[in-house]
Amino acid sequence: MTTPAPPPPPHTTPPTDLKEAMVNRPQPAQPTSAAPGAGPTAGLTGAVYGYLNKQDYRPGQALPAGLIAHRLRVKSADVNRALKELATAGVVVHQPNGPHGNAFYLPTGKRWVT
């Protein structure tokens, strides 16, 4: 006696309703404030820290907040907030009169620890 073939997988159709499409779309990382003592590993701050670790930025180089925001699919203002938290933790530095203007920079003489 043969066993019946399993049923085919359910066919998914694209949503026809815009509201349904918006509800079910993938969501980008959301900014969150780090809890006291959490360091640069909480929420978007942690995502920015991880992104910087994976890139080939050199000491003294300006960190492009707009590009980082684009890559992480978040707002530039949120990345700037995360960079400010990383500056408070000593991971990056903020130089209002830096070589590329008012920006966050990777400190000179420091190496990333992953």
What's the Cα-to-Cα distance from 69 to each of 15, 45, 73, 83, rounded to whole Å?
28, 12, 6, 11
Look at 20 and 42; give whichever has higher pLDDT.
Answer: 42
At residue 30, the pLDDT reads: 46
Whether the CB-CB separation of 69 and 78 falls below 8 Å is answered with: yes
Whether the CB-CB separation of 84 and 94 falls below 8 Å is answered with: yes
Q: Which two tokens stand for residue 11?
A: 């066919």
At residue 58, the pLDDT reads: 86
Angstrom distance (rounded) from CA 84 to CA 71 = 18
Per-residue pLDDT tens digits for 63-96 = 999 999 999 999 999 999 999 999 999 889 999 8
Domains of the chain: 40-114 (1.10.10.10)
What is the DSSP track for the chain? -PPPPPPPPPPP---SSHHHHHHTSPPPPPP-PPPTT--TTSHHHHHHHHHHHHS---TTPBP-HHHHHHHHTS-HHHHHHHHHHHHHTTSSEEEEEETTEEEEEPPTT-----
